[in-house]
């Protein structure tokens, strides 16, 4: 994890977040295990409910949002 991200692990693989695989979601920095996962999420986040539910769950727990 980087200190910038809300998550420690990639929602897809469970592997550690990599510094070169960060993006923004709902105003927060989220991370993936590789740039391909990140790019796919950026281009199709509305069609990636598993990823968005993962991030939304973290936001609810950490930030009560």
- pLDDT tens per residue, the chain (65 residues)? 457 999 999 999 999 999 999 999 999 999 999 999 999 999 999 999 999 999 999 999 987 75
Could you give the CA distance from residue 5 to residue 56 in angstroms, rounded to a whole number? 13
Nearest to 1 by CA among 26, 25, 31: 31
Q: List the domain boundaries for the chain.
A: 1-65
* DSSP strand pairing (28-31 vs 22-25): antiparallel
The reported pLDDT for the residue numbered 2 is 58
The pLDDT of residue 62 is 84
Which residues does residue 23 pair with via DSSP β-bridges, in sequence order? Answer: 30
Distance between CA atoms of 56 and 34, rounded to whole angstroms?
20
């Amino acid at each position: 994890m980087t200190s910038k991200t809300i998550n420690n692990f990639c929602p897809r693989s469970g592997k550690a977040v990599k510094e070169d695989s960060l993006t923004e979601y709902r105003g927060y920095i989220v991370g993936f295990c590789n740039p391909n996962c990140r790019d796919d999420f950026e281009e199709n986040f509305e069609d990636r409910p598993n990823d968005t539910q993962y991030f939304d769950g973290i936001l609810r727990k950490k930030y009560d949002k």
